[in-house]
Amino acid sequence: SQQGEEDPQALSIQEGENATMNCSYKTSINNLQWYRQNSGRGLVHLILIRSNEREKHSGRLRVTLDTSKKSSSLLITASRAADTASYFCATRGSGGSNYKLTFGKGTLLTVNP
C-alpha cells in the first residue's frame, strides 16, 4: 500500500497566505523528502529531512518531522501564485541498500492572485 498519505488532497488559498500540507507514512524511514510537480510535468526536489532531524528550513519552506507519529508537514509561507502545483512527500526506507522512494498521494495547491 502507499507509504505516504498527504492531506489535504486539495488546498486553495489567497496569495500571501501560508499553506500547510501534511504527510503520514507507515514504516521506518531513512529520510523524507518533498517534491513539487507543475501541471503533470517532472518533479522537482524541494527539501529533505532525515529521520534524526525534527525541523528544517529552506527559504519560504519549513518542514517538520515527527517520527513517533510517522508524520511530516510542509509549510510554505507568504505564498505566491507561482507556488500553484502539486506537492508530494516521498519516503526512503531505512536499510542501506534501499534506494527506492515511495510517494504519497499529493496535495494540489492553488494560490489565487
Which CB atom, from 41 or from 54, has the smaller least distance to other proteins? 41
In the complex, the smallest distance separating the C-beta of residue 106 from other proteins, rounded to whole angstroms, is 5
How far CA 49 is from CA of 46, 56, 59, in Å, comes to 10, 7, 15
44 lies in the site for other proteins, by CB under 8 A:
yes
CA distance 17 to 80: 8
Beta-carbon contacts of 41 under 8 Å, excluding residues fewer than 6 positions away, are none
**93 CB burial (10 A radius; 0-12, 13-18, 19+):** middle
107 lies in the site for other proteins, by CB under 8 A:
no
Region near other proteins per CB under 8 A, out of 18-26, 60-68, 70-78, 86-94: 86-94
Q: Give the per-residue contact string, 1-40, with other proteins (x = CB under 8 A; - = no).
A: -x----------------------------x-x-x----x
Q: Element (H or E) spanning 5, and its range?
A: strand 5-7
Contacting residues toward other proteins, per CB under 8 A: 2, 31, 33, 35, 40-45, 48, 88, 90, 92, 99-106
